[in-house]
Amino acid sequence: MSKTYYDPADLKKFGSISEWDEELGSKFFEYYNSVFEEGALTAREKSLIALAVSHVVQCPYCIDAYTKDGLQRGIEKEEMMEAIHVGAAIKGGATLVHGVQMMNKYNKLSM
Amino acid sequence: MHTKSLQARKNLLSNPKEQLKYLSNGIFGDGELPLFKEKVATTGTFPLKPKKLEILQLNLGYMCNQVCSHCHVDAGPDRKEIMTRETMRLCLNVIRKSGAHTLDLTGGAPEMNPDFRWFVEEASKAGIKDFIVRSNLTIIVANKKYHDLPEFFRKHNVHVVSSLPFYKKEKTDRQRGDGVFDKSIQALKMLNAAGYGKMNSGLKLDLVYNPAGAFLPANQQALERDFKKALKEDFDIEFNELFCITNLPISRFLEYLIASENYEDYMTALVEAYNPAAVENVMCKNTLSVSWDGWLYDCDFNQMLGLKVNSKVQHLKDFEPEMLQDREICISQHCYGCTAGAGSSCQGSVT
């Protein structure tokens, strides 16, 4: 067994999850591929969203995959960094907006 | 960025045999990835055989004013291999004999060949339907003697195909050298002014995109849309089509892949993106590549790897279309570059 939880080489093996559950694995990958097709959003826009979400969920595999995907699509580094800031802003905001809950509770419990 | 060719740096990879050895050992030698011939066999397309010859691609020499980091020719100012007028005369005979409808001049910078203009004038009389010159753009502004090239091209109804790896300065200059982007834009404006790329002018100007790094090109149409929009908005430049070309793992691009520790991942990506539909249309099936000294190859990449056509006819002077038609195409692991995804050729995607 590897001594680290993440191994870059595992990304290539993603498809192997279907080996232990063919039906659900296949359904997932079919869905996944459909999601990234051109639709109301361009494939380029979807790639940037995926990159931002990859950072928010802190998935190293996804970060590798969507940085490369962005490069292939001609997405520039400034666009990538801005997308990550969007993710960070939402994540930061999500933390801070709970501050209101803290304030509510504080006020309720205080005389 | 290197300013000299592999050959001038006496790099081991300047020897084609060393490159072929590298491409057959490692992940391919130990069976982690299938050899190209094994992969082709799984889709029933081994051996690869040529279809009708349509394109004759002539390499007029390896000399170039640029030293691009991805160059599969290992071209540069220090390369002295140049096609002579005598070999050009052999080419003219073969053009007439071959029945090819497209003539494709490449290099190096073909314009640097001292007999370039003479040859274009002669070849344009040979009744070729599509006469391509692959221009690196910067040559047009490199020296006063080249400034009239757009006009010269127009006069001979040449179809200009030019490399521009990206529509922004930074990525272009990183791959092709400082200042290359600005000069390329200047040259594109000169070509536009001569009518190239303009609607209804009949003068075709196509651009070639190749990734500036260890990744594959994306959809050609989507990139063409981005290129057209950016070049029009930023510089008022127009062009006809964008060709996406995958970087093949040979010569200086191979050097880069190894040095940046991207070789294994890149080869894996190429193998995983193997597309049997692209195999049907790979350019080696309808193209012959001729080197500066008159030898024949299945493609420009095989030329750089020293893989002459597998035929009794190997040189222009013995050219015999029927005997050449009956050959098997020489392949190695670099061929995965042309069969990945939408496929890749000197004319862009093939599917």
Task: Kindly tell me if the per-residue pLDDT of A85 is higher than 90.
Answer: yes
pLDDT at B243: 96
Task: Nearest chain B residue to A67 by CA: give it.
Answer: B215
CB contact B32 to A (< 8 Å): no
Nearest-Cα distance to chain B for A27, in Å, is: 21
The helices-and-strands tally (H runs, E runs) of chain A is: 4, 0
- pLDDT at residue B177, rounded to an integer: 86
User: What is the token pair recorded at B106?
Assistant: 């490449």
Structure tokens at B330: 């020489």
Examine the pLDDT at A2 and tell me if it is beyond 80: no
Ordered per-residue pLDDT tens for chain B, 351 residues: 789 999 999 999 999 999 999 999 999 999 999 999 999 999 999 999 999 999 999 999 999 999 999 999 999 999 999 999 999 999 999 998 888 999 999 999 999 999 999 999 999 998 899 999 999 999 999 999 999 999 999 999 999 999 998 898 888 888 888 899 999 999 999 999 999 999 999 999 999 999 989 999 988 999 999 999 999 999 999 999 999 999 999 999 999 999 999 999 999 999 999 999 999 999 999 999 999 999 999 999 999 999 999 999 999 999 999 999 999 999 999 999 999 999 999 999 998
**Which among B168, B215, B222 has the least Cβ separation from residue A71?**
B215
User: In which element (H, E) is residue B150 found?
Assistant: helix B149-155
For residue B73 the two structure tokens come to 């020719």
- A47 CB neighbours in chain B (<8 A) are none
The span from the CA of B254 to the CA of B251, in Å, is: 5
- Cβ <8 Å between B217 and A72: yes
Q: Look-up: residue for tokens 């070729």? A: B128
CA separation for the pair B174, B265 (Å, rounded): 21
Q: CA of B202 to nearest chain A CA: how many angstroms apart? A: 29
**pLDDT attached to residue B15:** 97
Q: Distance between CA atoms of B348 and B161, rounded to whole angstroms?
A: 11
- Residues of chain A in contact with residue B166, where contact means CB-CB under 8 angstroms, are 74
Contact residues, chain A to chain B, C-beta under 8 Å: 12, 42-44, 68, 71-74, 76
Provide the residue ranges of all domains of chain B, joining segments of one domain with +: 12-339
Give the DSSP H/E element, type plus range, for residue B104.
Answer: strand B102-106
pLDDT-derived band at A1 (thresholds 50, 70, 90) equals low
Cβ–Cβ gap A72/B168 under 8 Å: no
Show residues of chain B in contact with A74, CB under 8 Å. Answer: 166, 218, 223, 226
DSSP B239-305: -S-EEE-PPPSSHHHHHHHHHTT-HHHHHHHHHHTB-HHHHHT-GGGTEEEE-TTSBEESSHHHHHT
Taking CB atoms and an 8 Å limit, are A71 and B213 in contact across chains?
yes
**How does pLDDT run across B152-186, given as a tens digit for each residue?**
999 999 999 999 988 988 888 888 888 999 999 99
Contact B75, B5 (CB under 8 A): yes
Residue type, B60: L
Burial class (CB in 10 A: 0-12, 13-18, 19+), A105: exposed
Number of Cβ within 10 Å of residue B95's Cβ equals: 18
In this predicted structure, what is the pLDDT of residue B237? 97
Q: Which amino acid is at B1?
A: M
The CATH architecture to which B12-339 belongs is Alpha-Beta Barrel (3.20)
Per-residue pLDDT reduced to its tens digit, B107-126: 999 999 999 999 999 999 98
Domains of chain A by range and CATH?
13-109 (1.20.1290.10)
How do beta strands B102-106 and B242-244 pair? unpaired
Contacts of A71 in chain B (CB under 8 A): 211, 213, 215
Q: What is the ipTM of this complex?
A: 0.75
| pLDDT at residue B134, as a whole number | 98
